[in-house]
Structure 1
Amino acid sequence: MTLDPKALPDVQRTQALQALAHREWDMVIIGGGITGAGILLEAARRGYKALLVEQRDFAWGTSSRSSKLVHGGLRYLKEGQLGLTRDSVRERQNLLREARGLVEPQSFAFADYQGRKPGRWLFQLGLAVYDWLAGQRARHHYPADEFLMLAPHIARTDLKGGLCYTDAKTDDARLVLRVLQEARGLGGVAINYLGAEQLLRADDSSDGRVSGVQLRDAAGGGVYQVHAKVVVNATGAWADILRQQQGAPRRLRPLRGSHLVLPAWRLPVAQAVSLMHPQDGRPVFAFPWEGATLVGTTDVDHGADLQQEARITEAEVRYLLAALDFQFPQLQLTRADVIATYAGVRPVIDTGKADPSKEGRDHAVWMEQGLLTVTGGKLTTFRLIALDALRHLESLLPPPNPTQPDAPVLAPSSPLPVQGGLATQQRQRLQGHYGSLAGAVVAAAQAGELSAISGTETLWVELRWAARTETVVHLQDLLLRRTRLGLLLRGGGIEHLARIRAICQGELGWSDARWVQEQAAYLALWQQHYSLPQDTPTDTGSKHV
């Protein structure tokens, strides 16, 4: 008996977990973010018996709290990271081609002002290299009058013109879920709310080699032991926690990136607008995302407990609002315009640099007593990271099934028929988000559920589909990761909770008491971690803002 992607009643979940504990696995992957999901997909493609476990929800950590950009890392050119930029640009192009509707092009506009850095010629040189790496050429520079048509709300004093270039954006949590969907279709198994409690050692190993993991079910409380030929630590910023069970030294520097979400009508940007912050010269951006406007990001040392959800600080709010006031003075944006906030912790390898922004963003792979740790890196390059991890494990695993080196990252999905009044962009979005299941999502819709929720691009039926099929254990899973309504609607979507309940409670099989409990917990979580700070605490982790 194995777990399917549906949310299972408690008894069935327990039985399924007991069955999984009796199987011999080739690979157990700890961590349900984009790195773990990518490794599971590539392992399943090669025919390995692979199990992924996540102590909370899929994409709970960094992979639902990123800047939502699938980018080549233009700023990494300045740091001399040409290889990382090259790989990122190529993977970006692959995802744009293969995940249309989930990974979409996003043009960026950068204003050129008299006396501000970087100047036009230096920026154009970087963009020329960027284009060369992508195998394309494009016009970049626009005089002031043309540039103001592309970015009409920016400051005009001393404006000489501007430059434009193209990157890409995504819904990071949905990208994780799409990759997991592909992996499950190939035989991979992924379970959320199943945490790695303790590494197991092989009895016949003189060096204490890792041979499995003791798991604790956060949903049901049971404890299970699973054994595997290899164990992969893909827990990102949390990777040192498992490594320290091996006696390994800490090697990660958790950095927090925080963001603001504003209504599109208050900060209307057709192009993404990028600028260098007047305080420290770090890049800040504002771009259209899922029907709202996203503003980010900070880059500060995160000194808080990693087991607690990250939250934006008052200093970071002021930092981002100062950037908006600097670039869009005529809009007079204030705290009252902010719909929601979110913060994520990046897994960055610590090299001791004083400025956290100067730390490298490449990934690292370490083998320590049979535990393979994969951490660092970028959302864009998740496939390359997965392939690198599997190369390190080749000698410990059975011969893999043959694979095509140029196989797409994500399998193509069939076009949706023109029905239900869905616009072309909506059909494309569903295909990108749900792949081969997009038709089933549409077929699940009841009356009125193929319309979009006001202020977002999310369709009501996506709530029903998630509740029915996508392993929703808590209401926060549904509203913060399966959909992003908790980020896109004021108060976390409180005004829509009655209709959400009418659609989802029966699909989830929750009693009235359970729904009331979940709703209260969700709203408390949203208020604590996704709203503006209600106080101004001293935050030792924000010293570089």
Structure 2
Amino acid sequence: MSGDTRREELPALLAREWDLLIIGGGITGAGILLEAARRGLAALLVEQKDFAWGTSSRSSKLVHGGLRYLKQGRLGMTFESVHERQALLRDAAGLVEPQGFAFGDYLGRKPGRRQFMLGLALYDWMAGRRTRRLLSADEFAMLAPHVARAGLQGGMLYQDAKTDDARLVLRVLQEARQHGGMAVNYLGVASLLRTQDTVDGALLHDAIGHRDYRVRARLVISATGAWADGLRGQVGGLPRLRPLRGSHLLLPAWRLPLAQAVSLMHPQDGRPVFAYPWEGVTLVGTTDVDHGAGLDAEAAITRGEFDYLLAALRWQFPALDLVENDVIATFSGVRPVVASGALDPSREAREHALWVEQGLLTVAGGKLTTFRAIALQALRMAAPLLPHWRADLRKRPVFTAVAPLTGSAMQLDFDQRLRLLGRHGAQAQAVCDAAQDGELAMIPGTQTVWAQLRWGARMECVEHLDDLLLRRTRLGLQLAGGALAILPGVRAICQHELGWSDARWEEEQARYLALWRGHYSVPAP
């Protein structure tokens, strides 16, 4: 359904009676929409900007059990995360992929081999499978070429997983729509509505059509992540969140070649830093600092964070002599961490929390990996507030199984077909069928085919060019200058699909490039 058609249908859609109004279009809100819709609730999700615009397109892209939480004694959190990771690997193949992690054992570096292997043994036990193994110094160097050899005694290898976080959100929303859920982007909450001091709806503002709508629902759920305290403040809730910023670097794979992810402890403060192959580039992260800037603007890496991450790379890979010009792009996200009072941001727990205040159910905190478990917990808390509703809230497969691709898709190799099925689910065949001549070829330097641009523009609610280049695809992160060199090719495919005039395209391109330079490029010294 095109963006224009969706906007025309908004008045009728928003006039309907809803069981749930879910505010927030990140992974938590999307997960709640899916689990609610597949259990018969009339559920509407609204997002003030684009789907996955916030934290859920700016995470470290890891689907992991939280190995470091074992050290903090959070065994239950790790156990749940490991099992959700395994479910995603099983049900979202091609979107969630295994990723090996290698940790160097250097003389005098902590944690030592014995302690690390004990933690990995518990980690593997929770998953019900063994992935850990010891590496010799030569084996470690083969997995991580150019690694520092001074003091290297060997290493440890274990397995987690990685994903394209924005595409995971879009796949969850797609599945929710198949079950009758509805989701609208660029539809924000101006204020909450109440009846006798109980929240029962919201006044919504359409940022595209510039209209306001009053929407009523039996229950309103806030899944707005780092923005949750703003809505809670409307019902008298005191601030509970500590916004923490995590920033990342992206380098060409040829400049920092890795066969596995490499985990290291930063020489400055001992914090964990990682580098791993992702979407045809090498991703490096992450920082963990208090985000003092406002939440309305896009987060951006600071010069201090940039230098911090680059220093870690130069220390771990001294032979490469990496410099700032090697960095293709940067990105930053703000994590919705429930404050515990810890002085060190890295010591804050990543556990989620739920509160009901004057009928508003807020879900905050949590991890990308555990979105399904968080959604089900939210619905268990919602059940007493929806007395007409009864449902089985046991876990179901994350996604419905989809048929193999046929026809023109067979010109793609197995991995490419699996990748399309993982990212587009039941729509993957239509993505291939919509491709014109040459559009099933991969865009150089990426693992994205041109047809995904056409499909995103046609069917995935794109309202701005950055929706297409930063979230429907990740071309703005994978290619130099925000994919500047291929913008003419993007225009040739997408301008007609979007129904944009020449003037509108030029306006959107200028807007996108200014956004990229201000928030996704190398920061000024």
TM-score scaled by structure 2? 0.98
SS of the residue corresponding to residue 422 of structure 2 reads helix
Alignment-mate amino acid for residue 220 of structure 2: V
The answer to whether the aligner puts 1:448 opposite 2:448 as a matched pair is no
SS of corresponding position for 1:380: coil
Distance 2:416 2:389 in 1: 38
Q: Is the 8 A contact 2:144 2:257 kept in 1?
A: no
Amino acid at match of 1:341: T
What is residue 135 of structure 1 aligned with on the other side?
128
Displacement after TM superposition at 1:421 (Å): 2.2
1:205-224 superposed matches below 5 A: 205=196, 208-224=197-213
5+ residue gaps, structure 2? none
| Map 1:480-495 → 2, pairs under 5 A | 480-495=470-485
Q: 2:184 maps to which residue?
A: 191
Conserved in 2, the CA contact under 8 Å of 1:301 and 1:356? yes
* C-alpha contact (below 8 Å) 1:47/1:401 kept by paired residues: no
Aligned twin of 2:26: 33
* Whole-Å separation in 2 of the counterparts to 1:507 and 1:403: 41
Q: Which residue of 1 aligns with 2:400?
A: 411
Contact 2:120 2:132 in 1 (8 A): no
Alignment of 1:365-404 (within 5 A): 365-400=354-389, 402-403=391-392
What is the identity, as a one-letter code, of the residue corresponding to 1:501? R
Q: In the alignment, which residue of structure 1 is the partner of 2:2?
A: 6
> After superposition, where does 1:430-469 map in structure 2 within 5 Å?
430-469=420-459
CA distance in 1 between partners of 2:245 and 2:303 (Å): 14
Which structure 1 residue ranges, 4+ long, deviate > 6 Å from structure 2?
Answer: none
Q: Does structure 1 conserve the Cα–Cα contact (< 8 Å) formed by 2:25 and 2:52?
A: yes
Whether 1:104 and 2:97 are equivalent positions in the alignment is yes
- Contact 1:44 1:188 survives alignment (8 Å): yes
CA deviation after TM superposition for structure 1 residue 244, in Å:
0.7
| AA at the equivalent of 2:505 | W
Counterpart in the other structure of 1:177:
170
Distance 1:501 1:403 in 2: 47
Q: What amino acid maps onto 1:478 in structure 2?
A: L
CA displacement at 1:352 relative to structure 2: 1.2
Question: Which residue matches 1:156?
Answer: 149
SS of the aligned residue for 1:493 comes to: helix
Give the conservation status (yes or no) of the 8 Å contact 2:132–2:159. no
Report the alpha carbon displacement of residue 146 of structure 1 after superposing the two structures with TM. 2.1
Q: Is the 8 A contact 1:67 1:297 kept in 2?
A: yes
- After superposition, residues 268-283 of structure 1 pair within 5 angstroms as 268-283=257-272
C-alpha contact 1:33 1:176 (8 A) present in aligned 2? yes
The one-letter amino acid paired with 1:386 is A
Q: 1:308 aligns with which of 297, 319, 322?
A: 297
Aligned pair 1:59/2:52, yes or no? yes
Question: What is the identity percentage for the equivalent residue pairs of Structure 1 and Structure 2?
Answer: 66
Q: For 1:104-127, what per-residue CA distance to the aligned partner results, in whole angstroms no more than 9, with x for missing partners? A: 000000000001111000000100
TM-fit CA distance, 1:147 = 2.0
What amino acid is the match of 2:2?
K
Residue 254 of structure 2 is aligned to residue 258 of structure 1: no
Q: Does the CA-based 8 Å contact 1:35-1:386 persist in structure 2?
A: yes
Q: Which SS does the other structure have where 2:101 is aligned?
A: strand
**Mean alpha-carbon deviation: is it higher for 296-305 or for 241-250?**
241-250
> 1:41 is aligned with what amino acid?
L
What's the offset of the Cα at 1:412? Answer: 1.1
Q: Is the 8 A contact 1:20 1:226 kept in 2?
A: no
Partner of 1:472: 462
Report Cα offsets for 1:423-452 as digits up to 9, x if no partner: 111000000000111111010111111111
Tell me the equivalent position of 1:525: 515
Q: Are 2:72 and 1:79 aligned?
A: yes
CA–CA distance in structure 1, aligned partners of residues 440 and 522 of structure 2: 32
- The alignment yields a C-alpha RMSD, in angstroms, of 1.1
- Within-5 A mapping of 1:7-26: 7-9=3-5, 13=7, 15-26=8-19
- Does residue 427 in structure 1 map to residue 417 in structure 2? yes
User: Which of 505, 509, 514 is matched with 2:504 structurally?
Assistant: 514
Q: Deviations over 1:333-385 (max 9, x none)?
A: 11010000000000001111110000000000000000000010000000000
CA distances 1:136-162 after superposition (whole Å, capped 9, x unpaired): 123421121222222222100111000
* Counterpart residue number, 2:62: 69
Q: Helix, strand or coil: the match of 2:53?
A: coil
1:215-254 Cα offsets, whole Å, 9 max, x none, are 0000011000000110001000000010111121100000
Cα separation, 1, equivalents of 2:322 and 2:61: 22
Secondary structure of 1:212's counterpart equals strand
TM-score by length of 1: 0.95
> Are the aligned partners of 2:35 and 2:375 in contact in 1 as well (CA < 8 Å)?
yes
Name the counterpart of 1:91. 84
Q: 2:311 aligns with which of 322, 325, 333?
A: 322
Matched pairs, number: 524
Give 2:160's aligned amino acid: D
1:441-488 Cα offsets, whole Å, 9 max, x none, are 010111111111111101000000000000000000000000000100
Counterparts of 2:412 and 2:139, CA distance in 1 = 34
Q: Does the aligned pair in 2 maintain the 1:102–1:171 contact within 8 Å? A: yes
2:30/2:172 contact within 8 Å kept:
yes
Tell me how far apart the structure 1 counterparts of residues 436 and 145 of structure 2 sit (CA, whole Å).
41
> Residue 50 of structure 1 corresponds to which residue in structure 2?
43
Q: Secondary structure at the match of 1:285?
A: strand
Q: CA contact under 8 A between 1:275 and 1:285: conserved in structure 2? A: yes
Match 1:357 to one of 334, 340, 346: 346
1:20-73 CA-partner distances (Å, limit 9, x unpaired): 232111000000000000000000011000000000000000000000000000
Distance in 2 separating the partners of 1:446 and 1:169: 31
* Contact preservation (8 Å) 1:361, 1:376: yes
The residue that corresponds to 1:120 in the other structure is 113
Question: Does the CA contact (< 8 Å) of 2:102 and 2:263 recur in 1?
Answer: yes
Work out whether residues 253 and 349 of structure 1, in 8 Å CA contact, stay in contact via their aligned partners in 2. yes
Q: Distance in 2 between matches of 1:400 and 1:447?
A: 50
Residue type of the alignment partner of 1:513: A
Letter in 1 for 2:364: T
2:491 pairs with one of 481, 501, 508: 501
Q: For residue 117 of structure 1, what is the amino acid of its counterpart?
A: K
Counterpart CA distance in 1 for 2:252 and 2:480 is 9
On the 8 A contact 2:171/2:424 being kept in 1, the answer is yes
In the alignment, the residues of structure 2 paired with residue 391 and residue 223 of structure 1 have an alpha-carbon distance, to the nearest angstrom, of 32
